[in-house]
Chain A
Amino acid sequence: MQQFIYGLLLLIALAIPPIAHFMESVMIIHMHMQMPMVVFAGFLMARLFMDRFPRFFDKWNGNGVPGILLFVIIVGFWTLPRSMDDALTEQSVEVFKFVSLSLLAGFPLRDSWKRLNSLGKNILFIFFTILFLVVGWLYIDAPVQLCNNYLVIEQITLGWGFLTTAICIVIYLIYITFTDRTKYE
């Protein structure tokens, strides 16, 4: 219950117009801070529902694959330059951004992650590494302004943000491959 309240408070705080406007005024904060924080808010809120309706999640998301796929689809959608622009210019898309990233990405991530086996987890990490490398390269190398609401320089900054995130995932993957974590537990 406590987690649900924290999550809800975080979500409300992020949605307060002055805060939302501030975060959205910088492209990289919009995509790499605001959006993940909304996902995290959903992640926190999910606990309450998982405890209340364990049967539902067991039945429909037993191995975690449907849930994680939903997560991937939602996150993938929000990396499109078009979605970001639309969120800034259309109120309904902005509302959908908060709803989808919390309920349809944060929720299923929480429920699915522990259900996935290590192969599934690794596939997901590798998928996001590739996605971030491709999107990062796209944002850095695009000869044109992809978002009408942001400057090209911000686009390049965001691209590097994606690349560094991808590099961090790779470092993590190498780390878990070559260390035996049971030794430290």
Chain B
Amino acid sequence: MIKNRHQVISLLVVFVFGFVLFYTGTDGFRAFTAETARVNRLLDEKPKFPKITLEDSKQREYSISEFKGKYVFITFLYTSCTSVCPQLEMNMSKVYEQIPKKYLGKDIVFLSISFDPSRDTPQTLEKYRTYFKSDGETWRMARVPDKNELDALLKEFGVTVIPDGYGNFTHNSAFYLVDPKGSLQDVMDYKKIDEAADKVVKILNQEAGE
């Protein structure tokens, strides 16, 4: 009987330990993959878009302050990508179409940022943007020419890019929404087009109503 009691105690200790381990390891059973954890953390921290220089398809150079006072809807891509990126940009164009014209360029700007600056020159981006009916103004495509600045941006927004050695990259994809002050406001699932569009339109309507 005594022996049993000890074992019951050690069983309980093991159970409690296991519970605590899984609880802390998954942020309270919320994040079983690092990607979910990353998004949760971004939403908690709301990092600021770093001060970096972007070069767009029209060879204009500017920082994020170019879009001061506007929401910026961002995706990260590289044009040689054959898998996720075209789908990501296609979905982005569907969100773009759902935004009322009156807001475009004035209250919100769409921005696709390439993380492959050596291949994605302004000429390449200029061509690439036409595939998705981006006008180069209210939806711009840009690269970050400076490698250090690019790394800082990817780190800040938690974008993990792994070169696979064959000229391709594996990377996590999402829609990012940066608020008019330059802080990250939301990270949205790029597969849920309507949900993302509804959310953005709602935010824009609210701003306009004020």
Whether B26 pairs with A80 at a CB distance below 8 angstroms is yes
> Which of these binds chain B: A122-130, A142-150, A160-168, A170-178?
A142-150
Task: Report, as a range, how many residues of chain B touch the other chain.
Answer: 20 to 34
Closest to B34 in A: A85
Of B12-20, B96-104, B135-143, B199-207, which stretch is located at the interface? B12-20
Partner of A82, one of B3, B10, B31, B172: B31
Contact B21 A77 (CB under 8 A): yes
A interface bracket (residues with beta carbon within 8 Å of B)? 20 to 34
List B148-176 residues whose CB lies under 8 Å from chain A: 160, 162, 164, 170, 172
Within the complex, the shortest CB–CB distance from B38 to chain A, in Å, comes to 7
Q: Which of A54-81 contact B (CB under 8 A)?
A: 59-63, 65-66, 69-70, 73-74, 77, 80-81
Alpha-carbon distance between A132 and B117 when the two chains are bound, in angstroms: 42
B81 at the interface (CB under 8 A from A): no
- Report Cα–Cα, A151/B84, bound state, in Å: 13
B37 lies within 8 A of chain A by Cβ: yes
Q: Is the CB of B33 within 8 A of A69?
A: no
Interface string of A126-160 (1 = CB under 8 A from B): 00000000000000000011111111100000000
Judge if B25 is at the interface, Cβ distance under 8 Å: yes
Query: For residue A94, which residues in chain B have a CB less than 8 angstroms away from its CB?
Result: none
Give the residues in chain A near B32, CB-CB below 8 Å.
80-82
Evaluate contact between B35 and A62: CB separation under 8 angstroms.
no
> Chain A residue with minimal CB distance to B3?
A62
User: How far apart are B204's CB and chain A's nearest CB, in angstroms?
Assistant: 29
Q: Is the CB of A73 within 8 A of B172?
A: no
Bound: A122/B164 CA distance, A: 42
Q: Knowing A60-B7, A65-B11, say if A70 contacts B34 (CB, 8 Å).
A: no
> Which of A63, A70, A85, A151 sits near B33, CB closer than 8 Å?
A85
Q: Does B6 count as interface, using CB distance less than 8 angstroms?
A: yes
Contact with B along A20-42 (1 / 0, CB 8 A): 00000000000000000000000
**Are B17's CB and A152's CB within 8 A?**
no
B14 with A66: CB separation less than 8 A: yes
Contacting B34 at CB < 8 Å: which of A59, A63, A148? A148
Asked whether B7 lies within 8 Å of A81 as measured between CB atoms, the reply is: no
Q: Point out the residues of chain A lying under 8 angstroms from B35, CB to CB.
A: 144-146, 148
Q: Are B18 and A80 in contact (CB under 8 A)?
A: no
CA distance A80 to B18 in the complex (A): 14
* Shortest CB distance B31–A (Å): 6
Residue from B6, B7, B17, B25 within 8 A of A80 (CB atoms): B25
Does B22 interact with chain A (Cβ within 8 Å)? yes
Complex Cα–Cα for A77 and B20 (A): 11
Knowing that A59-B6, A66-B14 touch, tell me 6 more A-B residue pairs with CB under 8 angstroms.
A60-B7, A65-B11, A73-B18, A73-B21, A81-B34, A147-B34
Q: List 7 A-B contacts (CB under 8 A).
A: A60-B6, A66-B14, A69-B18, A82-B32, A89-B34, A150-B162, A152-B170
Closest 5 interchain pairs by CB?
A85-B34, A73-B18, A66-B10, A148-B160, A60-B10
